[in-house]
Amino acid sequence: MKKAILILALFFCWAMAASAQEKEHLEFEGVQINGTVEHVLEGLRSKGYKQEKGISRLHGKVMGKKATVTVASTPDGSSVYLILVEFDTKKNWENVRTCYESMKMQLRARHGDPVLYKEEFDSPLAEADPVKALQYNNCRFICHFQAPGGEIILSISKDAIVQCYYVDTSNAVSLY
């Protein structure tokens, strides 16, 4: 009887250790960022995203705004580690800044305050023409959020595009 209890206890400990080793993966729109590109694309297509023919780019709405979604995998193609969302906005400062602030508010509501952020112009002169300041790296708008299984980074690119990077920590580690 003691032997059976010992075997059962060892099995239970093994099962607990095995489940603790399972890695948590970040989700995007209810689809886990894990598996092959085709697997993730299939999940996003089932959510209503429309895929561009022959490439891993889709179109649809993210957080209520029209966006282009790109799925990226590790160099060997075995696992998706990143989803890049680029929001469709007119490239004037008011539209870009409004989109950025709206996305930041929604991410903050879901994931809490950003762990890192920088939103600044290098000088008042740069602030006078924000789009040009972006082009010449004279301002930075970036927020970094922690989420279960990964990180979400919201930024405004040099091309005045609001971008949101969903990075799965477990799969991104395999890049190094």
What is the spatial distance between Cα 126 and Cα 74, in angstroms, rounded to a whole number? 37
What is the residue whose two structure tokens read 């305050």?
113
Residue 174: its pLDDT value, please?
Answer: 62
Domain boundaries, the chain: 24-173
What is the residue whose two structure tokens read 């008011």?
94
**Averaged pLDDT score across all residues of the chain:** 86
- Name the pLDDT band for 75 (thresholds 50, 70, 90): confident
Identify the burial level of 140 via C-beta atoms within 10 angstroms of its C-beta, where 0-12 means exposed, 13-18 middle and 19 or more buried: middle
Q: What pTM did the predictor assign?
A: 0.84
**What is the average per-residue pLDDT within 150-166?**
96
What are the tens digits of pLDDT across the range 28-51?
999 999 999 999 999 999 999 999
